[in-house]
Structure 1
């Protein structure tokens, strides 16, 4: 197919697709065109700011460099009249068809009015090397013109020249091409007033520079963004897209890259131009897919982009004369598949009301209009101005808006989730600390009511053991709790919803029913207004968190009731055994004192020690019997307090072979119950002392980190097996110790939790057991 014909077909369909109705205003002055190698401008008012493209019928001399001259004249040189600007490929010249490579001369005579102002010319690309003579004088050139390929050098160098102030111009252009698939005078030279030409070029150059700066800055910004957050590929894709726009802006239009990097060969810069064009398609598709996921594109997107991938490979690996063969077919493909594909994907996003779809639609529509407009202008089918710099800036702005909006929404959502997580933690603590079922349900309802924007009723349904009747918990405006029994079918409120068959959250009559199941049995159901708690996923997660917190609280209360009854009998015999053990030792000490008065002091210390142990056991039993420990908190200095604890431990390990290492690195102020925290330390130390034959060293380290005080107590004993780790802090400890109920460690955790802290049990890397107590600093 003829190259010119194929291009015009593409441009014709494009003009119908995007530019239908674009016509020149009849009131505007139309620039004349050349006929038979002559352009008459004597009646054209160039003072109006009109720029005249030197188009029409030029004299075309194939394989001839005619001599420069001041006036057109008859000669023996053979020529034809050729409509220009256009490529010379496939031109019929005296029975031969002009191919890609060779050289030629173009000639045009121009007649100006005698009162014409100072004139100038803007000379764009001419393929691919040229010399321009006006009235016999060489005024402009790019590359090296030659009759042989070895001596010819291709170059793009747009430039402006000023013209002599005369009323007649004879223009001769010598053109040679041995590098590009197409050659000739292919872009129109613009003629106009000096002021007009310079002003238009300054505007176009300024826009090209603005595009380069904007693309470069956005590429750097998004690359840095991606480096610090590699989880999301969107900034990287946008950065690559901006880099491609930058390369495209440097190598097209004003050819800033050709002017700034003239040390690079024409071949390299030409590859960059085409690669940036065809690589942008897959990048844009991938970028779009991040915002508007599409199952069709997920399956077939690679196949749609495959021709573009292939073209990119050809551009990088083959000469221009080969990969340029596929430009026209790929133009058809892009304009009838790629561009409509973009639009369809975005329109689907608009239809589905996906975030940012409208902004993307405007950005891509603006770019396509700019591309089509410039294509029609270049080929003389539309009298307009070049819009591609505006389209590229518009696209960058639209992408920047959508990405900024996306991350703004993400930041807002993150802040909301952070706030909800904080409230969920405090709410969970409040619910979990409830002493009974009624208090737990009331706490959950009070927390939910704080986010109930519609001020509609909130209900919690709990089944009885049979599952046939339910207890409904609700609160009034004064936060007074109401408990009523209902059946498992609430017809007036849920259209016959049967609770026992409810497996997943559902919305009925603007009410959200959220079941919490345990082993396929419904544990509880929340009945709340849907609009107040389903605005987004984070709201739903928060509601579920409250529901699970209530579930855990109720389960703990049930377990505590069962455990309390179960272990009372078990503990009775063991407590009696422990009491008897200490009483027996006291009795023996008293008998020895009576029989041998000289041992009074030693035996007195032993008896006192056993009495203290017995007293500590009684306190453990008392603390264990309480569901909640009420602390006597005081603000004290950690250094002073743990110095006294060190003295107690020194006394405790006296007369044993256990070495005590004590490090107190904290001097912060902390709010604690001194007596109970002292018992925590002594109970853990006594646990080590009971294994004194297997322990040689006991270490204590107190330090502050961030907003917590950390107490690490560890020994080098035999350690604790994995099974024991799981139950060591339970209310009943089945330990291998020779004496003791095992209540000490359970009380330790209860005291730590009452202080708002936690205790962790791990294995010492060097062997033994490590207790880590974490307490909040005041």
Structure 2
């Protein structure tokens, strides 16, 4: 069980990021407090809507549009079920009626606004000030009310800078009373855009699920002996039906005359039906599935369906958590089965865990949200996407195992007709595998491409969609590699010969890496073979071999190094050597790197990837009759040596003339550019008050965070700790946000360097890392880090942590400035920065020396003048000269207060003339030295 959890942990982090790391929509404002929401800073022209969340004024059992004053008013959270509202024992049930009210401060009056109202599953009337704007159903004070599901948007013109929203809500038919979804306010264009995105997302999810369901129904009708596709299809269809009730509520728009109570029964019936389908589906995977657990799940589900049929939602809706508990029981049993009676491979069990646990997380979230226990979103469709992909890969593995079994059976029978039949079956299976794996990816890539074409003006969205497209393409490439491995295993791989020059062929492959290598600051050097003859070779497979080798070499090479590629013809044998200057591979891992799903670890850095590429390289090389070797030394790099036999014969083994080689690379090679360096340059050249150094070795993540931060701060970037340390000493940023696991120098070591150096110990450090263990957090904070944030993270949380630190830093500067010129004695216990204490002591020792300059001060403190100025600018906000002058003036004020002569005081504190001293004194304390002495005598 432990090894499964180890495999599952990275996937779980990705799932949590995918589900709960979705960015919030709209401009960021503080939620409403005590019935007041301040939107006076709203930027109307940006067309970004705002969620009207927070504390609303509320009156239970009253329809009253004039709720005013904190003394006579209670408050309730929106979104949220009012069944949880028990302040002052007002009420605790879900059935009843009441009035919500919210005062909203707008940036101006007379503008046109739009409100987007969700389907509250009840009845309501919306007033703005005292004017009725819209309604849904017929709200009343008893069960005679008429509920309605009617998401809608309304337009209005703000009569003043302050408006009052009043919503009279009545609920006697639904299990969760109140406003448990967010209202959105914004410009009409912004609301229209938001509605369009909600429609698109909901339609995309429903359409994808229905397509998958119909596809698996087709598989079942073609092969009825396997009940798995039928159960899987039912899951798809009923999850799609469940989604049609949420968001834009497509169901009610398609069937407007469908009864309210009947629609709720259909909605709630989706949950137990899906549970039944889940149980039956996993029973087909695990024959050892417990009959007791199965019967308990089926019985509870059937009883709940009967309860739905025979009662109202106000009764059966309260028992929905029982289905969640039964679902949890099934998953616990499934975890037990993966340990005791697991599937044939470790990978298959891991895929089951990833898919099922993702679904249970989303399912529990939906149940808790449905009952009003938490405020979130309906996430089951997103979890189902992960589940679908996992089960597709699982089915592909099962198909692959079936190929091997079929092949062994054919060899045992030794009959030509049977062998032919098995071959045909294998081909059909390969077609099914390809379709099974690529269909979900097509449903991702195609809509993203459409959005990229349509959203030309929104650069931020375009960039995010580009990231989705690149990573989906990478996933498709991984699937193609898996299919190649399966073909090699099944013996279904065929040679396709081409004719051409080997130098041109290799050079064209290398050319595809030009931008990728440039971004990683790696130089690629190609030493061509002296042989310029035309050769016959399988270009498609040789391309995949060379592509993987060069890709790995560049990927694991540090900046400012070389990747050397040397080709040589020895008779009819092509020898190709790919050498990098990376970190190298441990000796005990040299043989293992060619095994499937194995990743090297050099002790300081784990090589990222799937462990498929080098395995495919070795098997394709052996398929072509060649060999591959590896030599590596830690700290110096690795060398792969490839030997492939070629031929000059004009005829292939089948007697067909080889085709001329087309220009390479073909369209199958993905573009390796990770991000546009121009965008980083443009970003970092913007001028902002504070400077943040971002240290991250993942280029796309660096680009994403940097893009988001650059709207607020000046952003510098480094791909490892060593480069970041040089930038810290040179640029003195206000804050460093650093990853922990990086090549050359990690985040902990960088943090220690920053905090242990006198020149940089004032710089803040936030560690942003995937290492979430308590030991890692303790180690990071022990290094002196100001904060520790784990991945996946909410970007809004990161922004708040940055803002809080920089605000605290500015407060310290202000305090240090006040302390520098303050004439009041320092309070007991006040801590002064150690560097400032040393600095003040040096100035005190040279107080009467008028020739004591910043250069002398910097020399005494063992730093450069430039460093001293930058450090004082960060600590106090003023230059070193200003610090020296203000310190002397403070001492002068103390001498003047003691009755000393003005001229003597001026020379004693290091001023060359009393007149200049008087001018400086008045600039700082707003009075002349004589006036200061007079005021002290009077007091």
What TM-score bracket applies, with the shorter chain setting the length? Answer: 0.3 to 0.5
Report which of the two structures shows the higher radius of gyration computed on alpha carbons.
1
Q: Which has the higher strand share?
A: 1
TM-score normalized with structure 1 length: 0.45
TM-score normalized with structure 2 length: 0.38
